[in-house]
Amino acid sequence: MKNSKLTLILEILLIIVVFVFIGVVLYDFYEGKNTDKNVEEILIQLDKEIEINTNEISGINNEKLEVNDEKIDAKIQGTVSINSSMVYGKIEIPSIRLKYPILEYNEKNLKNSICNLSGTSINGTGNLSIAGHNTSNGRLFGKLRNVKSGDIIEVTNIYGQKYKYLVFKTTKVDKDDNSLLKFSSEPIITLVTCTNSAKQRLIVQGQLISQN
């Protein structure tokens, strides 16, 4: 009798666990779909903003201006507001089929996209530091561990200027080690995400090789 009751209790608990697991999977799938839709909307709107900004830059004083030129008109900014988020541009890594808008760094944006950790405009100078979560489903920087030396990282600002970086370093550091995020006199990019270990961070760095 006791064994029968125990078996029944175990079966009920197993059923509950299965339903909870299914619920979590469905919730993650639903949230992922909504997030992907929002990201796609931002990318579409960003491309429209890039076209507008490119035309505006061409028209200022009828001369060609660079975003990192100190003489640039004061109305030219480093970000644009899209869907209530400040957007710096977009990042693409062809080798892992990654393409995301680069948003202002905060916890909310980190759940949805890639964020500008350095907080500076995208102009091909200094150390452009970009952060993203390491997800189990491969979204965001979930595939960053597959990037290797020699791969290309492409970053485009809100004026359509594209900067290409050649990956020269992939390493893991202590979670409190921020040495690779410091200012650099050389134009580089630093991508950072967590690892499966809560004690380390994965770092990918690239050297600027071209801009247009």
Q: Are 102 and 87 in contact (CB under 8 A)?
A: yes
* Percentage of the chain modeled with pLDDT above 90: 60
Least Cα distance to 144 among 196, 88, 210, 183 occurs for 196
Q: What is the mean pLDDT of residues 22-30?
A: 55
**Residue 72 scores a pLDDT above 50:** no
**Residue 48 scores a pLDDT above 90:** yes
Q: What is the mean pLDDT of residues 29-53?
A: 81
User: What is the per-residue DSSP string for 44-92?
Assistant: HHHHHHHHHHHHHHHHGGGS---TT-TT--TT--S-EEETTEEEEEEEE
Average pLDDT of the chain? Answer: 85
**Residue 89 scores a pLDDT above 70:** yes
**DSSP3 helix / strand / coil % (the chain, rounded to 5):** 35, 30, 35
Range from 30-34, 163-167, 199-203 carrying the lowest mean pLDDT: 30-34
Give the number of other CB atoms < 10 A from CB of residue 123. Answer: 19
pTM of the model: 0.78
Q: Are 198 and 175 in contact (CB under 8 A)?
A: yes
CA distance 47 to 89: 9
